[in-house]
Amino acid sequence: MTKRAPQPCCLGHTPSPSPAPRPPAAATASPSRRARPGRPRLTPEELRDRLADYCTRYSLALNDDGLPPFPAGQRETVQHREWMSLYKAHRRLSTRGPDAADLERRQELLSAQHARCVVCRKPLDLEDARADGQAADAAVLHARCLELVALARALGPEALERARSRI
């Protein structure tokens, strides 16, 4: 046995532990349509139940943002952790956009209208389609067209006639 092999000295030869290149979980998580295994998709109902449970246990009410008040001065407590978890869930849901049921409904209406706005008759895509549920027959419209309808409703038919005479 020779002792030719250089002894690893404690500084020079130890490979510096390089962090494995892993994408940061929360920062880059985009609201993708693909369901991620292991993490059931959060539904608005689940969040509502969790919020209600939290509020009951801590005797709190939701604020205008739909969240319980931040537990000031409670850092490192269970309550603080729970609040952070609710806050993240709330943010995740609110960045997900319109919920799936609404999207589906608008898609149905849009298909029935042959992808055209019921007011201007111009092409309309799902992203621009705004649902008008006020009339007896629900429909999707451009945002501007829906504004026109809403204004006409607010002002009444006579005003609409007078406006017509000015076109």
Residues that bind Zn ion (CB under 5 A): 117, 119-120, 142, 145
Q: How far is the CB of 105 from Zn ion (least distance, A)?
A: 18
CB 113 to Zn ion: min, Å: 10
- Of 46 and 147, the one with the shorter C-beta distance to Zn ion is 147
Minimum separation from the CB atom of position 121 to Zn ion (A): 7
As a whole number of angstroms, the distance between CA 33 and CA 96 comes to 10
Instruction: Say what angle helices 78-94 and 44-58 make with each other, to 10 degrees.
Output: 150
- Closest approach of Cβ 138 to Zn ion, in Å? 15
**45 versus 125: smaller Cβ distance to Zn ion:** 125
Alpha helices (H) along 25-155: 25-28, 44-58, 78-94, 100-112, 143-155
Taking the least distance from each CB to Zn ion, the nearer of 67 and 129 is 129
Separation between Cα atoms, residue 49 and residue 51, nearest integer Å: 5
By Cβ distance, which residue is nearest to Zn ion? 117
Separation of alpha carbons 142 and 131, rounded Å: 9
Q: Are 54 and 67 in contact (CB under 8 A)?
A: no
**Is 80 or 116 the residue whose CB approaches Zn ion more closely?**
116
Tokens representing residue 141 in the block = 């419209």
